[in-house]
Amino acid sequence: MKTVLVAGAAGYLGRYAAMEFRKRGYRVRAFVRDAEKLKLPGPGHEPAISGFVDEVFTGDATRPETLAGLCDDIDIVFSSMGLARTERQLTWEDVDHQGNRRILELAKKAKVGKFVYVSVFRPEEMMESDVVRAHERFVGDLKASGIEYAVIRPNAYFSDMAQFLKIARSGHMFWLGDGECRINPIHGEDLARVCVTAVEGSIREIDVGGPEMFTFRSLFELAFEAVGKVPKITFLPLWIGEAALGLLRIFNPKLAGAAAFFVLVNKMDNGAPAYGSRRLIDYFREMTTGTSDNPKQ
């Protein structure tokens, strides 16, 4: 039986990945900062997974002294570890790049067979964004490492779409651009299947989206439908965002690096190859009715 280290196991994708690995017969070592989190569902309705984990390794990727032995006896590393929400004192460079690099170094020493990493879709269009640059610096390290690897490139997760429900509940949404750019977000469970299949396959870079294609406009309308409100959306010209970004670049380059993602994503076609079967309206309904996505363990 192979053992997989799941880094980011308490996060949205990491939980589904741990469950999928376990279902396919792997032993799962979960790398987390807080083991208690595994016992409870996450904020995007991702399930509690303590019943799917064989071993918990508690540490912090930004603190090397907490990582000794992390990859010992590990066959596969899967990492969806990243700084998805901003944290004081930490940057994407600290976690997404340097943190994952520490795990990669340990994986090399432990002679791990394969490292599967979750980056972003079409990074070349978004290199101005700090988070995208940090992801791709790590991808560069991974490719140069000599270890067998796969890079998963999802465009958007259902958990991130939940933010639009909150805005729809407030009754009025503002958005940059004309709302016609395409996007097909994916449920964590569907994405986890792609990730685990990548471990077993030979494709090195996989672009991934969900089964339903939306324009941002139709996606927002769905969010309003789910909360039972009439859509009220104001689309602001893209130049307003670009002008604000231009000013930030001069007066606050750090904030510009963080904000760039939100402007760039509205300028590009985010439609990715379709995988999975979970529908966004069902997820929106789960989020609005409070029903749990927690499977039997």
Ligand X SMILES: NC(=O)c1ccc[n+]([C@@H]2O[C@H](COP(=O)([O-])OP(=O)(O)OC[C@H]3O[C@@H](n4cnc5c(N)ncnc54)[C@H](OP(=O)(O)O)[C@@H]3O)[C@@H](O)[C@H]2O)c1
**Segment 38-67, which members bind ligand X (CB under 6 A)?**
60-62
State in angstroms the smallest separation of the CB of 79 from ligand X.
Answer: 8
Binding status of residue 33 toward ligand X by CB under 6 A: yes
Structure tokens at 216: 């941002």
Residues 56-115 that bind ligand X (CB under 6 A): 60-62, 80-84, 95-96, 99
> Contact between 179 and ligand X (CB under 6 A)?
no
- The site string for ligand X over 208-237 (x = CB under 6 A, - otherwise) reads ------------------------------
For ligand X, the closer of residues 176 and 183 by Cβ is 183
Closer to ligand X by Cβ: residue 81 or 199: 81
Binding of ligand X by 154 (CB under 6 A): yes
Closest contact distance (angstroms) between CB of 142 and ligand X is 13
Select 229 or 279, whichever has its Cβ closest to ligand X. 279
Check residue 280 for interaction with ligand X (CB under 6 A): no
- How far is CA 184 from each of CA 42, 83, 205, 223, 233, rounded to the nearest angstrom? 22, 23, 18, 14, 20
Instruction: Kindly list the residues in this chain that would bind ligand X in the complex (CB under 6 A).
Output: 8, 10-14, 33-34, 37, 60-62, 80-84, 95-96, 99, 118, 120, 131, 154, 156-157, 159-160
